[in-house]
Chains A and B, each alone.
Chain A
């Protein structure tokens, strides 16, 4: 059924329900999956252009697919709405937004009368931190409203098909994010005092101690004793010429399309940014059967975990460090991207430009905390705490742990008890948040007999399931019990659990017992059974992706107890067996760049405010006129006055200010005003059907 734009088989994800509805897009008949977001349905039908901007006529496409940026606005049954948070219904009439939309003369939306509701704790965001906190509060018998703008619990966990880092005891290391979301959701069912509000968008924190929330059935004014802001993070953007062309979007949006909605949104992808989000995005693309032609990272090395970077390099994705994207090209759709090397001052080096033909450029240049509700609450004297990414950007494993601690802290303060937070929890929370540490030198194992694991993990990260899973306790750490590098000691029984559980896919098992000349090397495998066949000759690589020879595929079998993880056995020549860490999946010919003959526009043309299409040049011009008050800057440029409320440009404008050599001390910050998300006027007063 209508599978052209959809992923028909995925090595990790289960097929989605086979239930379909009809809708139209600009008069074209389309079919979409019942209840999927309209943006995904439109994408699955091959349409990536969502309209044209009123100011400059430029084509518009999605950016965040996360309810934040408003770039995905479509006219749905006559009303312009963010299509990434509107579930598809049978018979919907969907149109692109061409210039200013028309306000149709329709009946006001049906909604309940506004209502004020009191609760002990309001948690904004039902992701890893919010759910973990809710569980603690529910266990203490406190009344909780757990509000989230999505249609299902889990936040970003529902996009995370990879196995989690951290430790098994503290944050379910080794289990996939999608599964953790299910487990947490089930656990919340045990506590009757937790009210779960899905598709519920927080619009504002008010000075009268209340929080306005738009539920599907109407507008609610919640008066909490305590607020817990667990609203996660939003993706940062980067201004470069062509950054708003449809096909240039966030890596998080990509994960949403691919992993949540199973949309085949791309064929050829380039990725900008080597943090964990970009690195994992590349891996997810391979799992979905797409080609990743490369990844550019502006620093000397990727900021994400080394095991993530190594994993994708081993599969044949080139990583261009000290490179950035110079421009994206295309009009209605992305056609190519140009990258270039940068010097120590991050200026591009002429002559280093390369051009890649791609249909998608994923922007993964970091995350910023969604913490504005907390700041308002503090200003208005509402007790409030931050947790998870809303507090500090880190892994979801850390978010779960920080949520758990916040939940206990709040439970203690509201029930006048204390001492329910074990003394070592705060240290653990810090450890789980720590970024990757120094990289140790590679040391080759000389052993040529028996069976043993080879651990290709040389950077300290907060992760230790290999130690806890070994039935013989043979993997230990040299330093910190969670962060320290794992070391193997003699006595392996060949159970291969460490190979299966490692979230970084960084452990192989080498078995010389049957054949000393061609020992069996077992590598973890999550790309399904279509990519390799028995007896196939494959290129094998060492831990950092250099091809060191060939091997023969012996078998591909499920790893018992580790869903969707397979173990790939290779017969490898003994001289390289201990060094083999992976096999090439993408041949080098698919990742080649081309000679450029495209004129790169000056960077003043880069769009900074995606909503109002304000360029970097316009902002610079005002700064050069002497404008130093952000209120004036915004008012005169219109940057930040668009549908998203300045969520993207607020991190970009300070960069231009700094580029201009202006100190932030000279700048007056702007006054932050509600609403957080545009909402129809009729929702606030309510209207019942007659």
Chain B
């Protein structure tokens, strides 16, 4: 008998297990993969930002940032944290206006962000295309870390505090009587509470208790280059759309590699993670055009992962369906950066100790919302 069973040992489930076990709550994590983070966590590119348009996400991310940025100092593990900041660059009036209009609300939510002119951006990203550059935002306290190293570190911490992890086990059903019985292909486990952190399979795990979670994964390819000496610090994001693709972004990881990703437009729904021939020509033409120097860095590896999307680009968090069933799903590709913050909010919620800020976050991300808006920086 466990107090909580978490389904999914990924970007969200693992830090949630850590937060719960730190509170002394007896927790079991079940995952079909054979080690932590084998779903979308290992496909994440590692960017961590509080630069969002939605105050609830800003709040979650600020908590996450605190966890990532202080981890090494607290626990000694190197999770690859690098505080290089984020810059969203503008080459059109439309993008420039959209970015600038968000700044007041972001600053109000506690984010350190400012608008930079073209010269300042060129200083941040030496060699970026000057022609047409109108400026961009810069949030110096955002950064990056290794998704897998972080996930393993969170897992170790959770295990240290008594959490159990069952790998290679697939949840097939959930029964609710007085308690929950979680049925897997290898056994049955009971707990008073269940948290659905199932990433791409969040909807299926919702179906097991009869609730409809509007989580629809779409596919994104990413790549990593050889490592080189550091030549720029921030994650560079271009949110302008062209035929075939929406935004794309890249940064230099703590050990020197460039990691990059692009968002296909229209989105490609599905959960397969097989590489396509479209990705490299598409992403390279945009990256090399924006930052010509990248033309000579060698691509080492590419992969594909999923963004479990919701209709409005905002996660679904909180109690849902039967009493004692909680969800932390629909991270829309931000599970890694939101994970530690989500874990804290979920642990406090399960423990009955939500703060005022938690209430604001849980209200904004509740299941029974309209799902009508669209997050500008999703």
A residues near B, CB below 8 A?
Answer: 54, 78-80, 100-109, 114, 204, 206-208, 210, 212, 219, 221, 379-380, 627-629, 631-632, 635-636, 641, 643, 645, 668, 671, 673-675, 678-685, 687
The reply to whether A204 and B275 contact each other, CB–CB distance below 8 Å, is yes
* B227 interface residue per 8 A CB criterion: yes
Q: Which of A207, A631, A641 contacts B275, CB < 8 Å?
A: A207
The reply to whether A673 and B303 contact each other, CB–CB distance below 8 Å, is yes
A residues near B38, Cβ cutoff 8 Å? 629, 631
A residues near B288, Cβ cutoff 8 Å? 108, 681-682, 685, 687
Q: CA separation between A673 and B149, bound complex, in Å?
A: 19
- Which of B280, B288, B294 is packed against the most chain A CB atoms within 10 Å? B280
The reply to whether B295 and A107 contact each other, CB–CB distance below 8 Å, is yes
Q: Which of A106, A212, A629 contacts B293, CB < 8 Å?
A: A106
A residues near B276, Cβ cutoff 8 Å? 206-208
A528 to chain B, nearest CB (A): 43
The reply to whether B228 and A673 contact each other, CB–CB distance below 8 Å, is no
* B299 interface residue per 8 A CB criterion: yes
Q: Please, which residue of chain A has its CB at the minimum distance from the CB of B152?
A: A636
B185 to chain A, nearest CB (A): 16
B residues near A54, Cβ cutoff 8 Å? 227
A59 to chain B, nearest CB (A): 19
The reply to whether B296 and A682 contact each other, CB–CB distance below 8 Å, is yes
Q: Which of B149, B284, B303 contacts A685, CB < 8 Å?
A: B284
Q: CA separation between A628 and B36, bound complex, in Å?
A: 11
A residues near B112, Cβ cutoff 8 Å? none
Write the B31-73 contact mask toward A (1 if CB under 8 angstroms, else 0): 0011110100010000000000000000000000000000000
**Chain A-chain B contacts (Cβ-Cβ < 8 Å), number:** 147
B residues near A683, Cβ cutoff 8 Å? 284
B residues near A, CB below 8 A?
Answer: 33-36, 38, 42, 126-127, 148-149, 152, 167-168, 225-229, 231, 256, 272, 274-278, 280-281, 283-285, 287-289, 292-303
Q: Which of B34, B127, B152, B295 contacts A628, CB < 8 Å?
A: B34
- Which of B33, B126, B149, B301 is packed against the most chain A CB atoms within 10 Å? B301
The reply to whether A102 and B301 contact each other, CB–CB distance below 8 Å, is no
Q: A684 and B226 in contact (CB under 8 A), knowing A635-B149, A678-B300?
A: no
A622 to chain B, nearest CB (A): 11
- Which of B281, B285, B287 is packed against the most chain A CB atoms within 10 Å? B281
Q: Please, which residue of chain B has its CB at the minimum distance from the CB of A104?
A: B296
The reply to whether A680 and B303 contact each other, CB–CB distance below 8 Å, is no
Q: A684 and B297 in contact (CB under 8 A), knowing A80-B226, A207-B272?
A: no
A78 to chain B, nearest CB (A): 8
Q: Is the interface of B mostly helix, strand, loop or mixed?
A: mixed
Q: CA separation between A679 and B225, bound complex, in Å?
A: 9
Q: CA separation between A106 and B42, bound complex, in Å?
A: 32
Q: CA separation between A212 and B276, bound complex, in Å?
A: 10
B residues near A105, Cβ cutoff 8 Å? 126-127, 293
B240 to chain A, nearest CB (A): 17
A55 to chain B, nearest CB (A): 10
Q: 11 A–B contact pairs at CB < 8 A?
A: A103-B293, A105-B126, A109-B296, A206-B274, A635-B149, A675-B299, A678-B299, A682-B288, A682-B296, A684-B283, A685-B288
The reply to whether A681 and B299 contact each other, CB–CB distance below 8 Å, is yes
Q: Which of A208, A219, A379 contacts B281, CB < 8 Å?
A: A219
**A-B contacts besides A204-B302, A643-B226, 8 pairs, CB < 8 Å:** A80-B226, A207-B276, A673-B302, A675-B300, A675-B302, A681-B288, A681-B296, A684-B280
Q: A107 and B292 in contact (CB under 8 A), knowing A221-B277, A681-B297?
A: yes
Q: Which of B126, B149, B228 contacts A100, CB < 8 Å?
A: B228
A residues near B35, Cβ cutoff 8 Å? 627-629, 631-632, 668
Q: A681 and B228 in contact (CB under 8 A), knowing A207-B275, A668-B34, A673-B302?
A: no
B residues near A114, Cβ cutoff 8 Å? 281
The reply to whether B298 and A678 contact each other, CB–CB distance below 8 Å, is yes
B residues near A643, Cβ cutoff 8 Å? 226, 300
B residues near A210, Cβ cutoff 8 Å? 277
Q: CA separation between A204 and B226, bound complex, in Å?
A: 17
Q: CA separation between A685 and B284, bound complex, in Å?
A: 6
A residues near B302, Cβ cutoff 8 Å? 204, 673-675
B80 to chain A, nearest CB (A): 11
Q: Please, which residue of chain A has its CB at the minimum distance from the CB of B273?
A: A671
A149 to chain B, nearest CB (A): 15
Q: A679 and B42 in contact (CB under 8 A), knowing A100-B229, A103-B293, A685-B288?
A: no
